[in-house]
């Protein structure tokens, strides 16, 4: 797997694609005068700002942990995806402001053939880049690249809708279809933007790992419980960008030596890291014979006197 630093190349790819598609879609708007194509160009402008934000976030996320950020900088990716979601919502407002007056006072579109050809070319560029970013986001577990890919795919689908709408105007002469399609584009990207903001907020709130990943951890712990006669509790998980964090308490017989307990923890941690790469595991050894061990399950441990 590539280092986090190498992921910035995908942000640069997104930036180049955004500049190219803005130029193409703006050209399509000036050729046709279609407000639908203008809305498409505005969304591509958001793509550029989002790609720049992704570049900054990935650059920050690659930094090594230090004294002030001992758990690393991976959470910077959530800020980029949240920014992208917010910018999508802003673009939707801009589209509505542009489309409503045109809906009330429809205007003729012109040179539809050339305009649609240019817009289609821009959509194909976005489709190729979105596919590459989505693949890289899944491979490297980067929410920033996934967010960028999903946004670009939304752009592709909305562009397809705009192209169909403008073509329908040319065929039917119903000028109101053009701004109506633009409003449909706005509604679609509001949905996408809200989803990106929600996912970023959940990441910043340290949401637990997905059920499938948590189940893999529990399967490892249950296997050791059956084979070694130990127990476990207080399993907590979270994710920060590409990195997972897992903490768990392991309870062993009170007559075990420190060496035996440490060897067990090393084996458990190694198995979890093998099942879920890029995972930092924290284990805490406790005695099955100490009643205080069973009080240590909540996030805030109650104050209990010790002999």
CATH number of 215's domain: 3.30.70.1350
* pLDDT tens-digit map of 68-111: 777 777 777 777 778 777 877 777 777 777 667 766 766 555 55
- The residues with which 236 forms a beta bridge, in sequence order, are 247
Strands 231-240 and 243-252, by their bridges, are antiparallel
Phi (first) and psi of residue 140, to 5 degrees: -100, 5
User: C-alpha angle with apex 94: 91 to 99, nearest 5 degrees?
Assistant: 125
| 300 within some domain | no
| 307 within some domain | no
| Domain limit, last residue, from 160, 183, 204 | 204
If one counts every other C-beta atom within 10 angstroms of the C-beta of residue 17, the result is: 24
Residue closest to 161 by CA, chosen among 124, 188, 132: 188
What is the domain-level CATH number for residue 192?
A: 1.20.1510.10
If one counts every other C-beta atom within 10 angstroms of the C-beta of residue 33, the result is: 17
More confident site: 246 or 45: 246
| 301 within some domain | no
162, 260: one domain:
no
| Domain limit, last residue, from 204, 221, 250 | 204
| 302 within some domain | no
| 305 within some domain | no
pTM: 0.62
Torsion of CA 285, 287, 290, 292, to 10 degrees: 20
Task: Report d(CA 122, CA 118) in Å as an integer.
Answer: 6
- Structural domain including 37 reads 4-204
* pLDDT tens-digit map of 18-47: 888 888 877 877 777 766 667 667 767 777
195, 82: one domain:
yes
**Residue 65 CB-half CA count within 13 A:** 7
| Domain limit, last residue, from 204, 227, 243 | 204
* pLDDT tens-digit map of 170-226: 677 777 766 777 777 777 778 777 877 887 777 777 888 889 999 999 999 999 999
Task: Report d(CA 303, CA 239) in Å as an integer.
Answer: 29
Segment 236-262 shows an average pLDDT of 91
90, 183: one domain:
yes
The share of the chain scoring above pLDDT 70, in percent, equals 83
pLDDT band at 6 (very low <50, low <70, confident <90, very high): low
The number of angstroms, rounded, from the C-alpha of 191 to the middle of its chain's C-alpha atoms is: 15
Task: Report d(CA 89, CA 196) in Å as an integer.
Answer: 10
164, 267: one domain:
no
Residue closest to 133 by CA, chosen among 123, 143, 124, 119: 143
pLDDT band at 122 (very low <50, low <70, confident <90, very high): confident
Q: In what order do the strands lie in the sheet with 231-240?
A: 231-240, 243-252, 279-287
Q: Which residue has the tokens 């793509």?
A: 47
31, 147: one domain:
yes
68, 187: one domain:
yes
pLDDT band at 113 (very low <50, low <70, confident <90, very high): low
Task: Report d(CA 282, CA 269) in Å as an integer.
Answer: 8
Give every CB contact of residue 173 below 8 A, 6+ residues apart in sequence. none
| 306 within some domain | no
| 187 within some domain | yes
218, 176: one domain:
no
Task: Report d(CA 156, CA 166) in Å as an integer.
Answer: 15
199, 241: one domain:
no
Q: How many domains does the chain have?
A: 2
169, 68: one domain:
yes
| 191 within some domain | yes
30, 147: one domain:
yes
Query: Tokens for 299?
Result: 């996030």
191, 220: one domain:
no
85, 56: one domain:
yes
């Amino acid at each position: 797997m590539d280092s986090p630093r190498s992921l910035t190349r995908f942000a640069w790819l997104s930036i180049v694609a955004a500049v190219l598609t803005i130029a193409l879609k703006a050209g399509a708007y000036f050729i046709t005068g279609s407000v639908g194509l203008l809305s498409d160009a505005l969304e591509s402008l958001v793509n550029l700002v989002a790609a720049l934000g992704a570049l900054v976030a990935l650059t920050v996320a690659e930094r090594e942990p230090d004294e002030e950020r001992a758990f690393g900088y991976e959470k910077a990716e959530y800020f980029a995806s949240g920014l992208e979601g917010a910018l999508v919502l802003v673009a939707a407002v801009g589209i509505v402001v542009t489309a409503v007056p045109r809906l009330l006072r429809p205007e003729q579109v012109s040179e539809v053939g050339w305009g649609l050809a240019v817009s289609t070319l821009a959509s194909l560029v976005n489709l190729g880049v979105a596919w590459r970013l989505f693949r890289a986001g899944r491979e490297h577990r980067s929410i920033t690249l996934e967010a960028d890919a999903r946004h670009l795919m939304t752009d592709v689908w909305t562009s397809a809708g705009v192209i169909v709408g403008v073509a329908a105007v040319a065929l039917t002469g119903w000028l109101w279809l053009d701004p109506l399609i633009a409003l449909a584009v706005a509604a679609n990207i509001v949905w996408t933007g809200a989803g990106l903001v929600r996912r970023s907020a959940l990441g910043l709130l340290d949401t637990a790992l997905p059920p499938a990943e948590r189940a893999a951890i529990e399967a490892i712990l249950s296997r050791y419980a059956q084979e070694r006669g130990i127990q476990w509790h207080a399993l907590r998980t979270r994710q920060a960008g590409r990195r997972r964090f897992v903490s768990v308490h392991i309870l062993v017989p009170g007559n075990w030596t420190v060496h035996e307990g440490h060897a067990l923890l090393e084996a458990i941690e190694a198995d979890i890291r093998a099942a879920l790469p890029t995972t930092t595991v924290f284990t805490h050894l406790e005695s099955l014979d100490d009643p205080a061990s069973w009080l240590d399950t909540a996030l805030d441990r109650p104050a209990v006197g010790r002999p």
